[in-house]
Amino acid sequence: HGVVRDSTWTELATTVNAGADILPLNKKVDWKAREKIVVAPTDFNLDHAEEFEILSVDNSGTKTILKVDRPATYKHYSGVTSFTGSNGVNADMTKTLEMRAEVGLLTRNVVFKGADDDSVE
């Protein structure tokens, strides 16, 4: 049981620099103030994942913007890179690579309920 969520993870829409407390997401989500989230690292140090508490949610535009409880300690990259080259078959081939930090909702609303049964010991 519990509340069904539209999404429990997404990605950053733009890079969040160290010191920023605003997280622009790449889509709308139904997350709420006081819920906990995690932002994945985008460098080579797994310890740079960061947990935050959401202070406010702005869904007035096409994407969600979160204000969180503290400034980011680390930079979390979000961007698109295009490159052109040859793969040996196609002479001029353009590829696009999206590299975005993932953002996950940690708060869950699962309720564990036991049976009220005296016959079980």
Q: For residue range 35-67, what is the model confidence (pLDDT) as tens digits?
A: 999 999 999 999 999 999 999 999 999 999 999
The per-residue pLDDT for 59 is 97
120, part of any domain: no
Q: Kindly state whether residue 40 falls inside one of the protein's structural domains.
A: yes
Q: Is residue 75 part of a domain?
A: yes
Checking if the pLDDT of 79 tops 70, the result is: yes
Residue 87 has a pLDDT of 63
Query: What is the spatial distance between Cα 43 and Cα 97, in angstroms, rounded to a whole number?
Result: 16
Domain assignment present for 3: no
Judge contact between 108 and 37, C-beta under 8 A. no
Domain that includes residue 39, residue range: 9-83+93-105
Which of 106, 83, 58, 76 is CA-nearest to residue 13?
76
With respect to residue 4, please indicate whether it lies within any of the assigned structural domains. no
The predicted structure's pLDDT at residue 60: 95
- 48 within domain boundaries: yes
Is it the case that residue 71 has pLDDT exceeding 70? yes
Question: What's the domain count of the chain?
Answer: 1
Residue 105 has pLDDT above 70, yes or no: yes
Cβ neighbours for 22, distance < 8 A, ≥ 6 positions apart: 16, 65, 66, 67, 68
Residue 39 lies in a domain: yes
pLDDT on residue 118: 66
pLDDT attached to residue 116: 72
